[in-house]
Amino acid sequence: MEALVLIGRILFSLIFIGAGIGHLADAEGSGRYAEARGAPSGGMVVRVSGVLIAAGGLGVLFGVWMDLAALGLAVYCLLAALLVHHFWTDEPSHRPIEVAMFMKNVSIAGAGLMIFALSAGGAAMGWQLGSPLFSL
pTM given for the model: 0.91
Helices (H), 26-131: 27-36, 42-62, 66-83, 95-120
- How many C-beta atoms surround the C-beta of residue 41 within 10 A? 12
- pLDDT band for position 95 (cuts 50, 70, 90): very high
User: Which are the contacts of 61, defined by CB distance < 8 A and separation ≥ 6?
Assistant: 9, 10, 13, 17
Could you tell me the pLDDT band of residue 126, with boundaries at 50, 70 and 90? confident
- Residue 133: what pLDDT? 86
What would the pLDDT profile of 4-62 be if each residue is shown by its tens digit?
999 999 999 999 999 999 999 999 998 898 888 888 777 888 999 999 999 999 999 99
